[in-house]
Amino acid sequence: MEKVKIVKKDEVKLQDLVDKLKKDPKIFECGAIACFIGIVRGIGKNGSKVQKLFYEAWEEEAIKTLVEIRDEALRKNKNLKDLLVYHVIDELKPGDETVFIVAAGKHRHDAINAVVDTIEEIKKKPPIWKKEYTEKGSYWVKE
Amino acid sequence: MKIKIRFFAELREIVGEREKILAFPDSHVNIAKLLNFLVDVYGEKFKEKIFDKNGQLFNHYIILVNGKNIKFLEGLETTLKDEDEVSIFPPVGGG
């Protein structure tokens, strides 16, 4: 199973990722799985209704960066036993899923903190951009 | 000398392409010269995106030469050579 992947809209469901994580033998050391799903907000940064959100990526480099983020999370905390990062790069509508992060940890804080830290890194590092199209116009979103 | 340049997001929209190969007769080309050339070609829209009103490159723009950030090379004075790849990143927005 790929631990890090760029996917299209509707290509993956959260339960599939959780099920795959639970098949890994390392899960026997874990007491918690934490999940994060990013979704497209219906109200844009300019305060008006979002019609669509378009993602663009330098995919090859984005995957390398996501792998580095994952590797660093596992290196920093040996109680974090597994981490899946799947990012959607596609044209999306409000409510659509944008990113999945699933973490398995020995204890709840290991899993929860990994998920939080990982999404913060994803906001800053990979060459991924998104353009919000709203009723009042479109713009590239700067985090 | 030929340089490949990659554009993303708002710059890709201005340039109209994801990548271009530019040929320079002069072998002494650095990032500053390249950016000024791009401003000459693509005009004010391009200039406003990457330079502030003092003519400085916006901090939130990242320029890579062969995958290395110019901040860790010689900044805008980073010299380019034949077949170098330059990637110009607007502010990223993953997640």
Task: Give the predicted TM-score (pTM) of the model.
Answer: 0.92
Please give the angle made by the CA atoms of A54, B58 and B34, to the nearest 5 degrees.
90
pLDDT band at A122 (very low <50, low <70, confident <90, very high): very high
Residue type, A135: E
Which contacts qualify for A58-62: CB closer than 8 Å, 24 or more apart? A58/A127, A58/B6, A58/B8, A58/B87, A59/A6, A59/A89, A61/A126, A61/A127, A61/B67, A62/A6, A62/A87, A62/A89, A62/A126, A62/A127, A62/A128, A62/B94
pLDDT surpassing 90 at residue B60: no
b (16+ CB within 10 A) / e for A64-85: ebbeebbeebeeebebbbbbbb
The pLDDT score that the predictor gives to residue A11 is 96
The per-residue pLDDT for range B4-42, each reduced to its tens digit, is 999 999 999 999 999 999 998 877 899 999 999 999 999
Please indicate whether, in this complex, the C-beta atoms of A122 and B90 are within 8 angstroms of each other. Answer: no
Chain A's closest residue to B93, CA to CA, is A129
Average pLDDT of A111-117? 98
Query: What CA–CA distance (Å, rounded) separates A139 from A106?
Result: 42
Chain B contact probe: residue of A60, A119, A143 with most B CBs at under 10 A: A143
DSSP B77: G
Question: Hey, what amino acid is at A130?
Answer: K
Distance of CA A123 to the CA centre of its chain: 9
Per-residue pLDDT at A10 exceeds 80: yes
Q: A42 and chain B: CB distance < 8 Å anywhere?
A: no
Residue A142 has pLDDT above 90, yes or no: no
Closest partner residue to B94 (CB to CB) among A128, A131, A140 is A128
Which domains, from first to last, does chain A contain? 4-138 (3.90.1170.40)
Q: What is the pLDDT of residue A63?
A: 97
Chain A CB within 8 Å of residue B61 CB? no
Residue A1 has pLDDT above 90, yes or no: no
Confidence of residue A3 (pLDDT cuts 50, 70, 90): very high
CA distance A115 to A101: 6
Confidence (pLDDT) at A7: 98
- For residue B5, what is the enclosing H or E element? strand B2-7
What pLDDT sits at residue B67? 93
Contacts of B14 (CB under 8 A, 6+ apart): B7, B42, B45, B46, B49
**pLDDT tens profile A15-64:** 999 999 999 999 999 999 999 999 999 999 889 999 999 999 999 999 99
pLDDT band at B59 (very low <50, low <70, confident <90, very high): confident
Contacts of B60 in chain A (CB under 8 A): 142
Question: What is the average pLDDT value for chain A, to the nearest integer?
Answer: 96
